[in-house]
């Protein structure tokens, strides 16, 4: 599948967090969730927003101290594309009924 942005591991990480369903996602929170610096996460969010995959709004509340936060959300029309990209780049691990914890040991004995 072709995407209107460069697909990197960091981009896939960001999309994974955006797919989590959390409504309170801002740059620092996303960066901390994926263990990447904000200096790489924020440009990815801007690129995704530029091509319409992400929408954002500035924090309106003045109740907290510190700079205003910009909240990001995956656009509804691109959620299926994000899920497809995640499945393509991060396939679910295969499950096995038999798990060998150490060589020569068979579970269930």
Rounded to an integer, the average pLDDT of 1-21 is 92
> pTM for the full model?
0.79
DSSP letter for 78, please: G
Rounded to an integer, the average pLDDT of 44-66 is 92
Is 5 or 106 the better-scoring residue by pLDDT?
5
CATH class assigned to 9-89: mainly alpha
d(CA 4, CA 14): 16
pLDDT of residue 99: 52
Paired residues of 74 in beta bridges:
54
Q: Over 90: is that where the pLDDT of 13 sits?
A: yes
Rounded to an integer, the average pLDDT of 78-95 is 85
d(CA 108, CA 39): 49
pLDDT of residue 39: 96
* CA torsion, ordered 80, 84, 90, 92, to nearest 10 deg: 80
């Amino acid at each position: 599948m072709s995407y209107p942005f460069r697909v990197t591991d960091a981009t896939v990480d960001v999309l994974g967090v955006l797919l989590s369903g959390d409504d309170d996602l801002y740059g620092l929170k996303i960066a901390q969730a994926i263990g990447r610096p904000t200096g790489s996460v924020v440009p990815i969010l801007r690129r995704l927003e530029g091509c319409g995959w992400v929408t954002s709004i500035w924090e309106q509340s003045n109740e907290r101290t510190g700079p205003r936060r910009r909240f990001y959300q995956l656009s509804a029309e691109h959620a299926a594309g994000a899920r497809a990209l995640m499945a393509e780049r991060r396939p679910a691990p295969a499950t096995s009924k038999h798990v060998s914890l150490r060589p020569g040991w068979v579970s269930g004995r």
